[in-house]
Amino acid sequence: MFRRFIVAIDGPAGSGKSTSAKLVAQRLNFLYIDTGAMYRAITFLAMKNNILVDHDTVSKLAESCTMQLEFIDGNTKIHVDGDDLTSKIRSPEVNSHVSDISKIAGVREALVKKQRALAAENQGVVMEGRDIGTVVFPDADVKIYLTATIDERSFRRAKEFAEQGKKVAVESVRDNLIQRDKLDSTRAVSPLSKAQDAIEVDTSNTTIEEQVEIILQSINKKLSKASDTKY
């Protein structure tokens, strides 16, 4: 047994965060939390309720709703107020609005509160997002910042859409990623940025196994300082 251990994994879309975070969590038997899914769910509801530009109402919705995240068969299932939004949050439409919703201070405040509450229930957590190592858990035990070239990231996201049966051109995925990178890293509140003490890993030319191994090595190094526990 050990005290609560938090692994923060940040980076831009398509950098390999989700794939490696899920595998690391599975290997350690830690809880996996995909914070992007939470911002996506609020974006979907804001689109559905036609309140995209009404920041106060969107913030109130983020604050008052009940979110449940479950990790089943390698995927994050997300329910908001009992409704399963899992298949609705990964569309090109949500992609094109999510950065605008993520920059709303009230939305971030509400979701960060929920993220900390989810983590508080578990001893081991792997949380991925944009601001986990900088804002949500500035004292995380291990901080990883993943990057990859824009071409590689666009190719990965287009492949994911194809696997879901959605035909989206690589060029349009690339345009959306460039736009989101810009908005996510220049917004006033909690912008995407590498924490000073994060380990940066460029995944452009690494296999998933290699990425997972690098992250596990950092965790083991940290754990071996605290105890003799090894994973």
Told to check if 59 binds ligand DC by CB under 6 A, we report no
Nearer to ligand DC, 13 or 195 (CB): 13
Nearest to 154 by CA among 185, 181, 177, 130: 177
Q: Which of 51, 54, 184, 32 is nearest to 115 (CA)?
A: 32
Tell me the window of 60-68, 80-88, 123-131, 201-209 that interacts with ligand DC (CB under 6 A).
123-131
Residue number with CB closer to ligand DC (67 or 223): 67
Q: How far apart are CA 191 and CA 146, in angstroms?
A: 15
- Give whichever of 127 and 223 is closer to ligand DC, judged by the CB atom: 127
Alpha-carbon distance of 151 to 66, in angstroms, equals 37
User: Is 198 a binder of ligand DC (CB under 6 A)?
Assistant: no
For 49, the token pair is: 């309720």
Residue 144 and residue 216 in contact, taking contact as beta carbons nearer than 8 Å? no
Examine residue 133 and tell whether it contacts ligand DC (CB under 6 A). Answer: no
Question: Does residue 98 touch ligand DC according to CB under 6 A?
Answer: yes
Q: Which of 44, 80, 85, 130 binds ligand DC (CB under 6 A)?
A: 130
> Cβ distance 35 to 176 under 8 Å?
no
The answer to whether residue 124 forms part of the interface with ligand DC (CB under 6 A) is no
141 binds ligand DC (CB under 6 A): no
Contact present, 101 and 56 (Cβ < 8 Å): no
Cβ 200 to ligand DC, closest distance in Å? Answer: 17
Q: Which residues contact 158 (CB under 8 A, 6 or more apart)?
A: 168, 169, 170, 173
The DSSP output letter for 164 is: T
- For ligand DC, give the closer residue by CB, 114 or 130: 130
Residue type, 178: I
User: Contacts with ligand DC in 156-185 (CB under 6 A)?
Assistant: 180, 184
Q: How far is the CB of 37 from ligand DC (least distance, A)?
A: 6
Among 20, 91, 99, 176, binds ligand DC (CB under 6 A): 99
Smallest separation, CB 207 to ligand DC (Å): 21
Task: Kindly identify the residues of this chain, within the stretch 11-40, that bind ligand DC according to CB under 6 A.
Answer: 13, 35-36, 39-40
Q: Which is nearer to ligand DC, 176 or 223 (CB)?
A: 176
Neighbour order of strands in the sheet with 67-72:
67-72, 75-80, 83-84
Q: How far is CA 185 from the centre of its chain?
A: 14
Q: How far is the CB of 43 from ligand DC (least distance, A)?
A: 8
CB atoms within 10 A of CB 197: 10
Query: Rule CB under 6 A: which residues touch ligand DC?
Result: 13, 35-36, 39-40, 98-99, 102, 129-131, 180, 184
